[in-house]
Chain A
Amino acid sequence: MRTRATRILGWTTAALLALTAVLALVVSPADVNQKDAVRLLYLHVPTAWLAMYVSFGVTTLASVLYLWPRTRSRFWDLTAGASAEIGVVFLGLTLLIGSIWGRTTWGVWWTWDARLTTTAVLLVLYLGYLAVRRVVADPEVAAKRAAIVAIAAFLDVPLVHKSVEWWRTLHQPASLFDERRLLDPQITGLMLVTLLVSVLAFTLLYAWLLIHRFRLAWLEDRAADGRMALALAERHAEASLAEEDDDDTDDAGGPGVAVAVAEPTLETTS
């Protein structure tokens, strides 16, 4: 039943993404100043929204729930890791699309603008978080360590959000996802409809990816437990073999005697 629901979610997402492509590339009008380059907006804004606020928000929330002793569960740790990885993919796309858009409107692929720089720092922070998750350690210690890093990394999100107001930047202020712009958007008509459909489509895509990435993380966790159990079993087997050897050598009167006994046998066989 749950798999069927995931399948329905997947097909709904695919249909909405196709609708987004038609609306963004065919139906919605070109901008007076930016011409057709404005169509990159319908990718740039949803990916940024999903990476910074949704994916990293879920990672932070799940990390807090993991650190809280009453709610601590492997479920929250795996959710945090899965969401962060998807967030990194979306944030990488945000920077990539932003770079292409910047080339058409500003004439440069990259500039050390406050918004761009804080976003690049955010990407590095979450790549670091994913690296911390891969450090070999006791699972509980590793999960606690990762949760603390996730919460610390999220501190950059308000900086990214406010960077266009706090510093003079090339990047334009928010058109929609801002506490003031949400009720008074700077984008209207078909462009607004296309942007909202695009945000909805990408949010469903995030949900679908999160379900699948979580399932994979759960299997990876089980595989790691299996490897640990196997390694422990091998260690136990080695330890009991070594004990048996020790017992045998003790029975034979110690290692020196054993060599003395073995040597003549070797001479006679050669």
Chain B
Amino acid sequence: MTHTAYLVAGYGLTAGILAGYATWVIGRRRSLARTLGLDAATPPPTGPE
């Protein structure tokens, strides 16, 4: 393998994994908000109550 192939693998895997994780988090949040009948855009409390 050439250095370019290792770079493509490194950068490709990083982009894929991070994009996949971010998509999973946002998608699950939206679906859970729908199930609970809440607005997904409504943020929870930003500090300890």
Contact = CB atoms under 8 A, between A and B. Distances in A.
A209 B6 contact: no
Contact of B10 (A71, A101, A219): A101
Contact of B33 (A6, A74, A96, A219): A219
A209 B25 contact: yes
Contact of B26 (A21, A212, A223, A226): A212
Contacts of A216: 25, 28-29, 32
Contact of A212 (B7, B25, B35): B25
Given A35-B3, A212-B26, A219 B11 contact: no
A35 B7 CA distance: 11
A219 B7 contact: no
Contact of B35 (A40, A43, A223): A223
Interface residues of B, number: 31
Nearest to B21: A89
A75 B45 contact: yes
A214 interface: yes
A73 B32 contact: no
A2 B18 CA distance: 23
A53 interface: no
Given A35-B3, A37-B6, A216-B25, A73 B46 contact: no
B29 A212 contact: yes
Contact of A93 (B17, B26, B33): B17
B7 A40 contact: yes
Contact of A104 (B6, B13, B18, B38): B6
Interface in B1-40: 1, 3-4, 6-7, 9-11, 13-14, 17-18, 21-22, 25-26, 28-29, 32-33, 35-36, 38
B7 A39 contact: yes
Nearest to B26: A212
Contacts of B44: 214-215, 218-219
Given A3-B43, A215-B29, A75 B17 contact: no
Nearest to A75: B48
Contacts of B29: 212, 215-216, 219
A3 B40 CA distance: 10
Interface string A32-49: 000111011001000100
A100 interface: yes
Contacts of B49: 73-75
A93 B28 CA distance: 22
A185 B45 CA distance: 41
A211 B29 CA distance: 12
Contacts of A219: 29, 32-33, 36, 38, 44
Given A71-B48, A76-B48, A209-B25, 18 more contacts: A6-B43, A25-B11, A37-B6, A65-B48, A75-B45, A75-B47, A75-B48, A89-B18, A93-B14, A96-B10, A96-B14, A97-B10, A100-B6, A100-B9, A101-B10, A214-B44, A219-B32, A226-B36
